[in-house]
Amino acid sequence: MVSQCANPACGASFLYFGEGQLITVRHHAHSATESTVEFFWLCGECATRMNLEVEPDGEMSLIPRPADATHACNLMKEVGYDVR
């Protein structure tokens, strides 16, 4: 369940998905019954300045968005990785 922006410095509350970027992260395990999905949300303001990335250890990290990024931030982004 998403309750607020994934940026710890931001206090925006998630009320509905009308702006920003919703990120789903699929944790693939050895069987389909063990796989899980986590959801993260960047509010509209944070999504214009930052991206969320999955680190090799499975942790999420905020990285600056390139200044010349022109794509819309109101899209759902899906990121997948395998649990070891």
pLDDT value of position 81: 55
pTM: predicted TM-score of the whole model, two decimal places: 0.74
Q: Tell me how far apart the alpha carbons of residues 13 and 41 are, in angstroms, rounded to a whole number.
A: 10
DSSP-based three-state secondary structure for 34 = helix
Residue 34: is its pLDDT beyond 80? no
Q: Tell me how far apart the alpha carbons of residues 12 and 44 are, in angstroms, rounded to a whole number.
A: 9
**Could you report how far apart the first and last alpha carbons of the chain are, in Å?**
24
pLDDT one-digit tens code per residue, 42-76: 988 898 889 888 887 778 899 998 877 655 554 55
pLDDT, the chain, mean: 79
pLDDT value of position 77: 66
> Smallest Cα–Cα separation from 24: which of 76, 84, 82?
76
